[in-house]
Chains A and B, each alone.
Chain A
């Protein structure tokens, strides 16, 4: 019974790769299996094997599954201590450059990219920055481009923003309509969102900062190392890599800038 699930996982991964072009073969097996199991439960399916026929026959089934396979929890100014540290330790260094690029890899629905843009705006640096937000999930990218969020969580976001050292009020960066919030254009116009798959695509070069928080935890060691190599090559010398608050980086290619905020910098080879 339990071996059956492991076998199903393997087959499902192959079907997805073959038919839809997404490669999950180097994702962490345990978290991938959890996501598939939750999706099966949601559809009242009793085992992973039940997902195999619709996965082959029904592209709509796959697109719904894809949403569940990639959307991670995100929020405005998630982990506010990170933003505070970034403002104190990284922005002053970045200001020595005339113009910089920041890549948010695995940006999901965009909240953290907008948070970064607001932080840069308040530090009078947004005009000299280009931000890129990428994710492999087309639904996430389309939501990120819209920049429209439910106002349900605005209080929590406002608290995060204050803890992060926000200088005004978060709601000043939104226009409100019905129960929705839309990020203002003064923030959005320095951001480009597009699809990019860390598992299969190559990088683009010469960025000063890469933010990739709680993405590598879903990869196995092989894929994680591939992505770190890709990041290393994408960063300018001494460029910054920002990870999630429970991700540890043991690599001679990066040195630690702040161990609590998990900010690292590229060591020149």
Chain B
């Protein structure tokens, strides 16, 4: 099991792959927390998203399998056509339930369930995207006293998603992509999100 009991969740959609290719290595440079990513992907059952990112990061990168244990220094991607949830035993639970916000995987599903497990030890990051998935997840994460970060909408390839999250009034920090990793580092160093 993860020794920190702390976790980072990231939600991204349109323009997300490029944003993640900058952000993930930057975060891995500052900490070894597990990172769970829901990136909206169209269709195809056998994606290669995990292997795509292994060229950017030295850590282990997985496309989630049902019941996988969340471990430090690993990145997990939600598989296409499944929601990725977090159980109270720190396992990844997949679900083939209906789309949420027209999306499967849905960012809200990840953020809301991760919030219940990690409470104030969660850092939730919402990046570029052209819909409003993740906004409710950000609200729930914040209500559980997690730390919430949105990419600066002006910089995002699609502003709708970070803007919708900001509009909930539950975002702690709005950062340009290149500054998110240092914000994450600051939160971790300050200790369990003492706000």
Q: Is A268 an interface residue (CB 8 A)?
A: no
Q: Known contacts A30-B93, A31-B93, A34-B85: does B64 contact A246 (CB below 8 Å)?
A: yes
With an 8 Å Cβ cutoff, the count of chain B residues facing the other chain is 27
| A73 adjacent to B88 (CB under 8 Å) | no
| A28 adjacent to B93 (CB under 8 Å) | yes
CA distance A264 to B172 in the complex (A): 48
* Chain B contacts with A in 34-93, Cβ cutoff 8 A: 45-46, 64-67, 79, 81-83, 85-88, 93
CA distance A22 to B124 in the complex (A): 36
| B88 adjacent to A217 (CB under 8 Å) | no
| A217 adjacent to B64 (CB under 8 Å) | no
Closest A residue, CB atoms, query B64: A246
A65-101 CB mask vs B (1 if < 8 Å, else 0) is 0000000110000010100000000000000000000
**Interface stretch (choices B21-29, B94-102, B153-161):** B94-102
Given contacts A30-B87, A30-B93, 17 further A-B contacts (CB under 8 A): A2-B116, A28-B87, A30-B85, A30-B88, A31-B93, A34-B113, A35-B97, A38-B98, A72-B96, A73-B81, A73-B97, A217-B95, A217-B96, A246-B64, A247-B66, A248-B65, A248-B66
What total count of A-B pairs have CB within 8 Å?
61
CA distance A31 to B97 in the complex (A): 9
Q: Is A26 an interface residue (CB 8 A)?
A: no
Given A30, A81, A214, which contacts B96 in the complex, CB threshold below 8 Å?
A: A214
With an 8 Å Cβ cutoff, the count of chain A residues facing the other chain is 21
A81 to chain B: which residues have CB within 8 Å? 45-46
| A30 adjacent to B97 (CB under 8 Å) | no
| A217 adjacent to B45 (CB under 8 Å) | no
CA distance A29 to B64 in the complex (A): 19
Closest B residue, CB atoms, query A5: B116
B152 to chain A: which residues have CB within 8 Å? none
Q: Is B109 an interface residue (CB 8 A)?
A: yes
Q: Is B144 an interface residue (CB 8 A)?
A: yes
Closest B residue, CB atoms, query A260: B46
A213-231 CB mask vs B (1 if < 8 Å, else 0) is 0100110000000000000
| A34 adjacent to B95 (CB under 8 Å) | yes
A43-58 CB mask vs B (1 if < 8 Å, else 0) is 0000000000000000
Closest B residue, CB atoms, query A82: B45
A-B contact pairs, 27 of them (CB 8 A): A2-B116, A2-B144, A30-B86, A30-B87, A30-B113, A31-B85, A31-B97, A35-B97, A38-B98, A73-B81, A73-B96, A81-B46, A214-B96, A217-B67, A217-B93, A217-B95, A217-B96, A218-B95, A244-B66, A246-B64, A246-B65, A246-B79, A246-B82, A246-B94, A247-B66, A248-B65, A260-B46
| B144 adjacent to A217 (CB under 8 Å) | no
Closest A residue, CB atoms, query B83: A34
CA distance A111 to B88 in the complex (A): 33
B45 to chain A: which residues have CB within 8 Å? 79, 81, 245
How many Å from the CB of B124 to the closest CB on chain A? 16
B108-122 CB mask vs A (1 if < 8 Å, else 0) is 010011001000000
How many Å from the CB of A46 to the closest CB on chain B? 13
| B97 adjacent to A72 (CB under 8 Å) | yes
How many Å from the CB of A15 to the closest CB on chain B? 22
A246-269 CB mask vs B (1 if < 8 Å, else 0) is 111000000000001000000000
CA distance A30 to B113 in the complex (A): 7
